[in-house]
Amino acid sequence: MPEKRIIMDKMEDSRSPLLEFYRSGEGYLALEKALKMQPDEIINEVKESKLRGRGGAGFPVGMKWTFIKRELPGPKYLICNADEGEPGTFKDREILLKKPHMMIEGMIIAAYAMGLDAGYIYVRGEFAEPCGKVDYAIEEAYAAGYLGNNILGSGFSFDLYTYLGAGAYICGEESALLNSLEGKQGMPRLKPPFPAQYGLYGRPTTVNNVESFAAVPPIIINGGKWYADIGTPKSGGTKMFSISGHVARPGVYEIPMGTPWKEFFYDIAGGVKDKKRLKAVIPGGSSTAVLTADEIENMTMDYESCIACGSMLGSGAVIVLDETTDMVKVLHRILKFYANESCGQCTPCREGCDWFFDIINRIYYGQGRMEDLDMFETLGKNISPTTICAFGESFVTPTLSFIRKFRNEFTGYIEKRRAE
């Protein structure tokens, strides 16, 4: 299966961020169509599309949209999660830079379907340039009557704003994002209540990822069934994959869900860089379990197949490791990231990620002990299930996968440095 560009269609054209260019294709036709549909019809199309949340958790988007009680009085909010920060992920940046109108159109349709009054696009603090592109697109959309009061004469009104964060990985977690947007430390909230009941300023709120919103307009134009038929029985449509590391052609590629790994990696991304051999792949961002070259060989690029192989598709961030890769060094760098980024709210995570980093640090610098490897297992069991959000799991899972699958390299480090 080759690339199938639905969201990325015409992205290579330098005019792709502009309204005029977007409208020369199917731009905002989905919004016109949606405003003539009943809100429930829209939600049913999205359900039928089998679109799953593209931020990493893969939760069905259409189902999430049914959680909002539209009859509740008072303001209700729509949030676009553009806090792209999972190491290895860089697909949302492409949309923000090159197709901001597609995401905006998806948001307006979502707001209409759920009866929401205002929206915020939470862009990670480092993305000042992409945020500027979105600001410009929002201005264009207001001027064209797609945002603001009485959109296209439908009687529906919706305001949309951007917001820039200030550097914190954890704000990609939706409830931490809401706290950050409220001007607080970005610490995840205990759930329930979920954002649909108690979100921004305590109001009903829906949070979706950039890519999820961008997928909505083509679903409305062509129908949910059309989108579902592109993918696998459980994962509809196409997905944008970010591929980086030791790969010949790094970048973002949009392919149908269910594309065989081999076709994606060798035919589309060009295989391993410099004709080296493949050692391992981290398939869904640094918080997912590493897969050996053998394990990934027969995988297909969709949520279910990735789980069957022992990992997670996550945000679709594929990191390629060639035969020369020092796995101890890679895990050392991954754990440094998590030690830097824990928000510090839950004790098992706050202390645990520092312990994990201390242990890998001493292995890496030649003071490792054999029992350290078992200590990861013991500590891990006490961290993963005891924290408010999934951050604890996010550093335990990759660590245990590295230790179990590449144990020789770790014991080698411990023995060799001891001998020196």
Partner 1 sequence: MSFAFNEVAMKEFDIWKKKFPDDPEGRRSLIIPALRLAQRQAGWISPEIAEYVAGITGTAPLQVWSVVTFYSMFNREPVGKNLLQFCTSISCGLLGGEELISHACRKLGIEEGKTTDDGIFTVTEVECLGACGNAPVLQVNDRYHENMTIEKLDALINELRNKEQG
Helix spans in 292-390 (H): 293-296, 303-308, 327-341, 347-364, 370-383
The CA-atom distances, in angstroms, between 223 and each of 27, 213, 234 are 16, 15, 17
Closest of 238, 239, 240 to residue 251, by C-alpha? 240
Closest of 368, 376, 375, 374 to residue 397, by C-alpha? 376
Stretch that binds partner 1, among 191-199, 300-308, 333-341, 401-409 (CB under 8 A): 333-341
Contact between 180 and partner 1 per CB under 8 A: yes
Contact between 309 and partner 1 per CB under 8 A: no
Single residue of 15, 184, 381, 407 touching partner 1 by CB under 8 A? 184
241 and 91 Cβ atoms separated by less than 8 Å? yes
Site for partner 1, residues 147 to 176, rule: CB under 8 A? 161, 163-169
> What pairs with residue 260 in β-bridges?
300
Contact between 84 and partner 1 per CB under 8 A: yes
Stretch that binds partner 1, among 8-16, 66-74, 149-157, 182-190 (CB under 8 A): 182-190
Contact between 341 and partner 1 per CB under 8 A: yes
**Stretch 236-275: interaction string toward partner 1, x if CB under 8 A:** ------xxxxx---xxx-----------------------
Contact between 139 and partner 1 per CB under 8 A: no
Contact between 189 and partner 1 per CB under 8 A: no
Single residue of 78, 296, 317, 396 touching partner 1 by CB under 8 A? 317
Cis, bond preceding 192 (omega within 30 deg of 0): yes
Contact between 128 and partner 1 per CB under 8 A: yes
Look at strands 251-256 and 291-292 and give their pairing: unpaired
Extract the runs of DSSP E, i.e. beta strands, from 211-367.
Answer: 238-245, 251-256, 259-260, 278-282, 291-292, 300-301, 317-322
* Smallest gap from residue 94 Cβ to partner 1 (A): 9
Contact between 337 and partner 1 per CB under 8 A: yes
Site for partner 1, residues 375 to 404, rule: CB under 8 A? none
Instruction: Name the CA dihedral angle for 198, 163, 56, 187, rounded to a multiple of 10 degrees.
Output: -50
Contact between 134 and partner 1 per CB under 8 A: no
* CB closer to partner 1 out of 13 and 182: 182
338 vs 349: CA distance, rounded Å: 9
Judged by the rule CB under 8 A, the positions of this chain that interact with partner 1 are 75, 84-90, 92-93, 120, 124-129, 161, 163-169, 180-186, 201, 242-246, 250-252, 282, 286, 317, 319, 321, 325, 330, 333-334, 337, 340-341, 343
